[in-house]
Amino acid sequence: MDRLDGKVSIVTGAASGQGRVAAEVFAREGALLVLSDLDAEGLKETAQLVTRQAGGDPVLHVGDLTQEAANQELVDRAIERHGRLDVLYNAAGLVRFGSLHELSLEDWRFTIDHELTITFLGCKYALRAMLRAEAGSIINMSSLSGPYRGSQRHAAHAATKAAIVGLTRQIAVEYGPRGIRCNAIAPSLIEYAPGQRRIASQTASHPPEGIPLGRHCRPEDTAHCALYLASDEASFVTGQVVLVDGGSAIA
């Protein structure tokens, strides 16, 4: 119950989906949480869930993380409250799907902003804080779709998720010598249970064909992977992309 004991951890996208479940898991493992999202109501609900389960008093930050100022503000909040930043889990993101020949430039730019730029900015400001302590762990959100597999109508999504793998490896190499690790999680399509809050426009509803482990990914699966990567148990793991896909990529 103390795998993140006292670690100051930012979780973005914490109002919903994987970010919310990760906030719950991190809190149970002793993290000092700083939660951020665009959605103030959802964020408050997450804070209540977390406090009910694990106590504590998460710092809440509401902002549009595609904007530079919001990322600066988020890291400043963590430093003001706790004096340092140990973990960033970049779980916020939003996609517009469409076949490439029909995709508008606006939808392409929206997806680049909400998947790739949001990740870049999160990393940029977290790195500034982590460099002061020469320690930290960053976890980015990639996907099975893009770096490992093509999917219908996923052009912009696939491009950003492959780019996030490159960004993750780059950070690992450039900042490893300064004590900072960076890894990514690549989930297959996620199945949310009734009552679990999510905004993602796609959720697994079809039978889990082609998945050796015989079920879809759940938000708990990625949360536990993030927990490992955030913890000192992963202190020699960096630049990796962990597929959380039940074996689909190799089937």
Positions touching ligand NAD (CB under 6 A) are 13, 15-19, 37-39, 42, 64-66, 91-95, 114-115, 118, 141, 143, 187, 189-190, 198-200, 202
Minimum CB separation from ligand NAD for residue 79, in Å?
19
Instruction: End-to-end CA distance of the chain: give it in Å, rounded.
Output: 34
The identity of residue 77, as a single letter, is: R
Q: Which residues of 85-100 are buried (b: 16+ CB within 10 A; e: fewer)?
A: bbbbbbbbbbbbbbee
At 28, list the tokens: 């149970």
Nearer to ligand NAD, 185 or 234 (CB): 185
Nearer to ligand NAD, 97 or 228 (CB): 97
- The torsion angles phi and psi of 104, rounded to 5 degrees, stand at -75, 155
Minimum CB separation from ligand NAD for residue 7, in Å?
21
The Cα 54–Cα 126 span in angstroms is 25
- 224 pairs with which residues across the strands? none
- The torsion angles phi and psi of 56, rounded to 5 degrees, stand at 80, 175
Nearer to ligand NAD, 133 or 153 (CB): 153
At residue 166, the 3 state secondary structure works out as: helix
Nearer to ligand NAD, 143 or 248 (CB): 143
Minimum CB separation from ligand NAD for residue 217, in Å?
7
Nearer to ligand NAD, 29 or 115 (CB): 115
Nearer to ligand NAD, 177 or 195 (CB): 195
At 202, list the tokens: 């796609």
Distance set, CA 227 to CA 113, 148, 234 (Å): 26, 23, 9
Cβ contact 75:125 at 8 Å: yes
